[in-house]
Structure 1
Amino acid sequence: MNATEIKKLFPILDQNVNGNPLVYLDSSATSQKPISVIEKLDDYYRRYNSNVHRGVHTLGTIATDEYEGAREKVRSFLHARDSSEIIFTRGTTTSLNLVASSYGNDNVGEGDEIVITPMEHHSNIIPWQQLAKRKGATLKYIPLQPNGTIALEDVREAITDKTKVVAVTHVSNVLGTINPIKEMAEIAHRHGAVVVVDGAQSAPHMHVDVEALDCDFYAFSGHKMGGPTGVGALYGKKHLLEAMEPVEFGGEMIDFVGLYDSTWKELPWKFEGGTPIIAGAIGLGAAIDFVTDLGFDEIEKHEKELVDYSFERLGELKDFTIFGPRERAGLITFQLGDVHPHDVATVLDAEGIAVRAGHHCAQPLMKWLEVTATARASFYVYNTKEDIDALTNGLVKAKEYFSDVFS
């Protein structure tokens, strides 16, 4: 199935915006949803809407089977060993905060080190900043190479026997850099540190095997891979999760509650307090079915072709800068002369082209790039070379509109 055929499976893409066919190039922020996911959510609410685990009636049984079936799909998707290692959360941000608040609070102390990189999304910076402040730990940054990549010699220098946590994005949401997680994990583990991976930009676009990567925690969101908003998952090695304390308390996650003390359920339910994200998890399972059926070999090949074509077409533009390495995931972050990225995005929107503009929740990286903001075009399975052509033509119009800047 080619991208043109795939695009027809996404109802929202069949429309005009500002009098032009919609060209959606903002999938790194959130992807569009295939009809199979939309229908799965509709089916849940129409046919078996019920709470899970608690009831013995028919609707509750169906809902529980679908919910736990979705957990198994996530396990298989990530190639985890056991479904109890999969915790449903509201998304990547919640997952990273859970690790920092639970594992971090119990295992990071005064004088210990937390190692991250300047390319992290705020969701993988702020929880560690706050943990370091609470515990009197040191937050260290692995320096970036001029092209926005990480050198393993810098990793070896940054990680020491004082390092307790290494938190790193698998794929930068700005630069498209694909980080060497497996090699970083090997270095970290030699020093007794755990590795926490922000997989928000990798899970939708590439084959992920947490066992092969040997990461200790891996977080991702459903809405960036064709699933619903408000749901994601945290993978954690079983022995680590078993030793961690829950951070939310209430129904579902308890074993026994007394007047003055309580005990928790076993994994994974001790981390899923309250009514869980039932419809979201079921929708996430449907999204996993969709991308799995397409095949990640094909997804990666298609996105590489789009990146290559983007460099070819956008390279024709003068006064145009692309940030990040040449070998990258499926996004292009750029600057058009001295035109503010918000102005560029506004002109493109008038042509029906949706891109992202701003600091992309990566202000430390913007400072490293010596810019205040950038524009970003990000691709997914439904994008075509014609979309890149439309982007290029839109940027030409932006240059014409702001011709005084280039004179």
Structure 2
Amino acid sequence: MDKKFENVIKDFPILSQKINDEPLLYLDNAATSQTPNPVLNEMVSFYQSENANVHRGVYTLANEATTAYENVREQVAEFIHAPNAKSIVYTRSTTESLNLVASSFGDLVVHESDEILITIMEHHSNLIPWQQLAKRKHAKLKYVELADDQTLDIADFKRKLTERTKIVAVAQMSNVLGVTNPIKEITRLAHQQHAYVVVDAAQSVAHQSIDVQDLDVDFLAFSGHKMLGPTGIGVLFGKAELLDEMNPVQFGGEMIEAVSRTQAKWQSAPWKFEAGTQNIGGVIGLGAAITYISKLKMTWIEATEHKLLTYLLPQLVQIKGLTIYGPQTVAEHGSIVAFNLANLHPHDVATGLDMLGVEVRAGHHCAQPLMTTLGVESTVRASLSFYNSLADMDRFVYDVKMVKEFFNRES
């Protein structure tokens, strides 16, 4: 076994427990990744030795907390290759980040009869905010469909992108199909029509390097809890000139420069978007998660997960009655595999696997329009991480077969 992998596993004690008297096999990383000890230790250390509110006090603890909080902003900017830390806004989640863009920036640039272009594979968090914006502004919401191989139909994207398109919103990696979309090409084409590009990077941020300057995206959002960090902390990257144009959508303490009885003046970006006491401990955890990922190196993470998928996908394809959604080739597939077993409800499959200690997700995965396009109500989803092993893949395939045989025997 890879010595590096052995050391990594020691950082995740949760993976050594038993579920239903079986060793835990955690394959729901697309929903929430596990958090390693170094991240947990950093958060505990903060609460034990530096806990204070940020930006408000002049005493030592407050200064230390503020320094740590703002240092993570610098760290995030470096992690996604943003030009500077002022383009990084802390939020609670990817969902809040996308809602902020739709509510603030969307209201500025979208008007009646304009068009918003999204894809049919979007998570509800990158669909409903645009749906609601279109309704508010009497604009048109258009969907890019899937190609025959269930990747994004770029030809359809080109057809539907027009001079009326003001915003293009797209996931970098689908949370169902596992496909990675060609963000750089999409951005280039969108900018030719003077449209702005908003990227949901929730699924990609922990699995591949992101360079927002190279991609040239206008906004990009992700969450800490999908990249080894805590829940309740998210990030919005925005080009500085666009953040400067935007109005805050929450008001209160900390985001103001001055207040009189009749009016208020906001701080500059990013602080004008961070009203009230933020999730300071979550920010510290996010920084620790980035440090952990950086030490592992994203190239190692990508290679490890690619090896797992290369091993797993051909075995799943061989299971009679199993349908995989998304590309059938490893080259076009990320670390997410959605599937169904013939004549079995996904919830039954997931429950059967849970009895064997295997944790997967079953449902519509907050992507109901995509489910309708695929002709199903829900799927089973296994999502991998670098702390899974080839032995885990063997066990998963075996247990899927066991569940299939059990239900078929029962019927």
TM-score, L = length of structure 2? 0.97
In structure 2, C-alpha distance between the alignment counterparts of 1:184 and 1:85, rounded to whole Å: 22
User: Secondary structure, in 3 states, of the residue corresponding to 2:146?
Assistant: coil
Residue aligning to 2:7: 5
| 2:243 is aligned with 1:238 | no
Q: 1:362 aligns with which of 364, 367, 376?
A: 367
Residue aligning to 2:208: 206
Displacement of 1:5 in angstroms is 3.0
Residue aligning to 1:398: 403
Query: In structure 2, what residue type is equivalent to 1:329?
Result: G
Unaligned 5+ runs, structure 1: none
Residue aligning to 2:271: 269
| 2:182 is aligned with 1:183 | no
Displacement of 1:315 in angstroms is 2.7
In structure 2, C-alpha distance between the alignment counterparts of 1:290 and 1:386, rounded to whole Å: 24
Query: In structure 1, what residue type is equivalent to 2:261?
Result: L
Displacement of 1:311 in angstroms is 1.3
User: Secondary structure, in 3 states, of the residue corresponding to 1:249?
Assistant: coil
Displacement of 1:62 in angstroms is 1.0
In structure 2, C-alpha distance between the alignment counterparts of 1:37 and 1:205, rounded to whole Å: 18
Residue aligning to 1:76: 78
Displacement of 1:2 in angstroms is 3.6
Is contact 1:252–1:273 with CA below 8 Å preserved after alignment? yes
Residue aligning to 1:100: 102
In structure 2, C-alpha distance between the alignment counterparts of 1:142 and 1:133, rounded to whole Å: 19
Q: 2:391 aligns with which of 386, 392, 396?
A: 386
User: Secondary structure, in 3 states, of the residue corresponding to 1:229?
Assistant: coil
Query: In structure 1, what residue type is equivalent to 2:315?
Result: R
Query: In structure 2, what residue type is equivalent to 1:179?
Result: N
Question: Cα deviation per residue 1:21-49 (whole Å; 9 max; x = unaligned)?
Answer: 11000000000000011001101111111
Question: Cα deviation per residue 1:381-400 (whole Å; 9 max; x = unaligned)?
Answer: 21111111111111111112
Question: Cα deviation per residue 1:259-290 (whole Å; 9 max; x = unaligned)?
Answer: 00000001110000001110001100000001
In structure 1, C-alpha distance between the alignment counterparts of 2:301 and 2:67, rounded to whole Å: 30
Query: In structure 2, what residue type is equivalent to 1:333?
Result: A
In structure 1, C-alpha distance between the alignment counterparts of 2:33 and 2:403, rounded to whole Å: 25
Displacement of 1:60 in angstroms is 0.6
Residue aligning to 1:147: 149
In structure 2, C-alpha distance between the alignment counterparts of 1:84 and 1:339, rounded to whole Å: 50
User: Secondary structure, in 3 states, of the residue corresponding to 1:402?
Assistant: helix
| 2:340 is aligned with 1:338 | no
Residue aligning to 1:136: 138
Displacement of 1:313 in angstroms is 2.2
Unaligned 5+ runs, structure 2: none
User: Secondary structure, in 3 states, of the residue corresponding to 1:44?
Assistant: helix
Displacement of 1:316 in angstroms is 3.0
RMSD between aligned residues: 1.1
| 2:49 is aligned with 1:44 | no
Instruction: Name the CA shift for 1:369/1:4 in 2 (closer, same or farther; >3 Å).
Output: farther
Residue aligning to 2:334: 329
Question: Cα deviation per residue 1:308-365 (whole Å; 9 max; x = unaligned)?
Answer: 1111322331111111012211111111112001100111111111000000000001
Instruction: Name the CA shift for 1:337/1:5 in 2 (closer, same or farther; >3 Å).
Output: farther
Residue aligning to 1:352: 357
In terms of mean alpha carbon deviation, does 391-400 or 222-231 score higher?
391-400
Query: In structure 2, what residue type is equivalent to 1:391?
Result: F
Displacement of 1:4 in angstroms is 3.7
Is contact 1:18–1:352 with CA below 8 Å preserved after alignment? yes
Residue aligning to 2:55: 53
Is contact 1:303–1:381 with CA below 8 Å preserved after alignment? yes
Is contact 1:95–1:234 with CA below 8 Å preserved after alignment? yes
Displacement of 1:404 in angstroms is 4.5
User: Secondary structure, in 3 states, of the residue corresponding to 2:209?
Assistant: coil
Query: In structure 1, what residue type is equivalent to 2:338?
Result: T
In structure 1, C-alpha distance between the alignment counterparts of 2:11 and 2:209, rounded to whole Å: 22
User: Secondary structure, in 3 states, of the residue corresponding to 2:381?
Assistant: strand
Query: In structure 2, what residue type is equivalent to 1:183?
Result: E
In structure 2, C-alpha distance between the alignment counterparts of 1:404 and 1:132, rounded to whole Å: 50
What are the equivalent positions in structure 2 for 1:5-44 lying under 5 Å apart? Answer: 5-44=7-46
What are the equivalent positions in structure 2 for 1:297-336 lying under 5 Å apart? Answer: 297-325=299-327, 326=329, 327-336=332-341
Is contact 1:4–1:384 with CA below 8 Å preserved after alignment? no
In terms of mean alpha carbon deviation, does 5-14 or 20-29 score higher?
5-14
In structure 2, C-alpha distance between the alignment counterparts of 1:321 and 1:343, rounded to whole Å: 16
In structure 2, C-alpha distance between the alignment counterparts of 1:333 and 1:262, rounded to whole Å: 49
Displacement of 1:65 in angstroms is 0.9
Question: Cα deviation per residue 1:218-248 (whole Å; 9 max; x = unaligned)?
Answer: 0000000100000010000000000000000
Is contact 1:3–1:383 with CA below 8 Å preserved after alignment? no
In structure 2, C-alpha distance between the alignment counterparts of 1:6 and 1:329, rounded to whole Å: 21
Displacement of 1:149 in angstroms is 1.1
User: Secondary structure, in 3 states, of the residue corresponding to 1:235?
Assistant: strand
| 2:220 is aligned with 1:218 | yes
